[in-house]
Amino acid sequence: MSKKPSKGGAPSLDMTPMVDLAFLLVTFFMLTASFRMAEPVTVDPPSSIGDVTLPDNHIMVTIDNNGRVFFGISNTTAKIAALEKMSTKYGVKFTPEQVKKFSGLPSIGVDIKDLPRYIDATENERTNFQPQKGIPNDSLKNPQLKDWIANGGTEAVRAYTEAKEKAEAAGQELKAEKPRYAIKCDGKTKYIFVKDVVKTFTDLKIYQFNLITSLEGGGTVLDQEEKKK
Amino acid sequence: MAEIAEDGGGGHKKGGKKRAKKQSTKIDMTPMVDLAFLLLTFFVLTSTFSKPKSMELTFPAPPPPGPPVEIKNGITFILTKDDRIFYYKGEFRDKPNDKGPATELQELNFSQGKGSLHQFLADETKGLHDQVLAYDKQLLNKQLADTTYKRLVKLAKSNKDTPTFLIKTDDKATYKDVIDLIDELNINIVGKYVVTDLMKGELDLVNAKTGG
């Protein structure tokens, strides 16, 4: 089946393998991509040699350089459940649409009284939302952050346990991990703000954290010693 | 493009029905390919592979009421404004007493070389490093089992001669300083460290040094 070289005209090239590959890659990236909404605040965490990957299942408290505190839960089920508890406690009503919309939001940094308005806002309006002062963290008068963390924590653990039992009943192994508490903080933030948040956690008897940092090379002295050899 | 073998076994005979003029089955795939590559580029550029990295840290539980626990072999770091680090060794004494003179703060910096935190830690933890390095060598030569190695390293780190580092900050220190300090401690594989609260007497000493 030897082909004769075509006489004249445009030389034709068999693009099939290339197209196959292109579609393969498109499919791969489409399936692996996870879309996120823009975070309400950008923080620039300091770098460290810590190379522990943040687990997918986490409760994250973000602190920006003005000391505003933002709160987010990665697990949607837990997020909705936590919102319901907060809604009962603070007497703020949410419509089912608002609850659904809330589950898709990343971290939030508004007072719970402003939360329905914040949820209804468009994405552009949210970036300039007023007042976005961070979640109130007054341990005596207005301990909203503490309540978010407490409710979010219990719900995240419950969601994890339920998923685990379900998987075990089906005879499968659960891939998800236990929820972890993460603190993401801007390098320029005064440590006193972080201290307040850590205090909130330790009051709830939570002592272990993942501090989010950007990765820097190097490693420990022993790693460096080994490299020299 | 895709071709079908025409001379497969027992194919139809020629010369029967007159076939219509052979039409090209080729489709112009250019738009589809364009689209495919457009999508490909989009997904490649927007996807983020790297999940955030983090540093695991355990904060201490509030101490039980009563006199503070005495820490042997402690080194206290105090972080303050302008990325300055002060330290003192041993217990805090605001007045000289029978155990020794009043505490004086020494200064360190985050750079490399003389007087740097890195150099200081390297000197302070030399004993531990040598020990861990020796274990490493033994592990490499298969003189130690994995589990024994881990146990020995843990033991060396919690040895009471290995210094314990206390990290304290005043109100003006930044988060970056704290992370940098903890990171430096991690790089130098120190035994134990803990982030804790500053005492009044220590704050006075720091204020005297920084003039604020």
Q: Tell me, yes or no, whether B50 lies in a domain.
A: no
Give the model's pLDDT for residue B135. Answer: 81
On the question of pLDDT at B1 being above 70, the answer is no
Q: Tell me, yes or no, whether B34 lies in a domain.
A: no
Would you place residue B17 in the very low, low, confident or very high pLDDT band (cuts 50, 70, 90)?
low
Nearest Cβ partner of A220 from B39, B54, B189? B189
Give the model's pLDDT for residue B193. Answer: 82
Alpha helices in chain A (DSSP H): 16-32, 76-90, 96-104, 115-120, 123-127, 144-169, 191-203, 221-228
Nearest Cβ partner of A29 from B33, B44, B52? B44
Q: Indicate whether B168 and B133 sit together in one domain.
A: no
Q: Tell me, yes or no, whether B155 lies in a domain.
A: yes
Residues of B in contact with A48 (CB under 8 A): 55, 179-180, 182-183, 186
Q: How many domains does chain A have?
A: 1
Q: Indicate whether B79 and B156 sit together in one domain.
A: no
Q: Indicate whether B169 and B156 sit together in one domain.
A: no
Q: Tell me, yes or no, whether B29 lies in a domain.
A: no
pTM across the whole model: 0.73
Q: Tell me, yes or no, whether B105 lies in a domain.
A: yes
Q: Indicate whether B78 and B157 sit together in one domain.
A: no
Would you place residue B13 in the very low, low, confident or very high pLDDT band (cuts 50, 70, 90)?
very low
Q: Tell me, yes or no, whether A14 lies in a domain.
A: no
Q: Are A87 and A94 contacting, i.e. CB atoms less than 8 angstroms apart?
A: yes
CA atoms of A143 and A141, how far apart (whole Å) = 6
ipTM attached to this prediction: 0.74
Residues of B in contact with A185 (CB under 8 A): 175
Low-confidence residues in chain A, pLDDT < 70: 1-8, 34-38, 218, 222, 225-229
Give the model's pLDDT for residue B3. Answer: 47
Give the model's pLDDT for residue B14. Answer: 47
Q: Is B184 on the interface with A (CB under 8 A)?
A: no
Residue B129: helix, strand or coil by DSSP?
helix
Q: Tell me, yes or no, whether B37 lies in a domain.
A: no
Would you put residue A228 in left (φ > 0), alpha (ψ -120 to 50) or beta? alpha
Give the model's pLDDT for residue B105. Answer: 74
Q: Indicate whether B117 and B180 sit together in one domain.
A: yes
Helix (H) or strand (E) holding B154: helix B146-158
When pLDDT is averaged across residues B105-110 and rounded to a whole number, the result is 76
On the question of pLDDT at B11 being above 50, the answer is no
Domain of A187, in residue numbers: 47-215
Which has the higher per-residue pLDDT, B50 or A97? A97
Q: Tell me, yes or no, whether B173 lies in a domain.
A: yes
Q: Indicate whether B115 and B175 sit together in one domain.
A: yes
Q: Is B61 on the interface with A (CB under 8 A)?
A: yes
Q: How many domains does chain B have?
A: 2
Q: What are B134-143's pLDDT values in tens digits? A: 888 888 887 7
Q: What are B172-212's pLDDT values in tens digits? A: 888 888 888 888 888 877 777 888 888 777 787 777 777 76
DSSP, res A200: H
Q: Indicate whether B109 and B168 sit together in one domain.
A: yes
Q: What are A209-228's pLDDT values in tens digits? A: 888 888 777 677 767 766 66
Q: What are B34-43's pLDDT values in tens digits? A: 888 888 888 8
Would you place residue B6 in the very low, low, confident or very high pLDDT band (cuts 50, 70, 90)?
very low
CATH code of the domain in which B114 resides: 3.30.420
Domain of B185, in residue numbers: 74-122+163-210
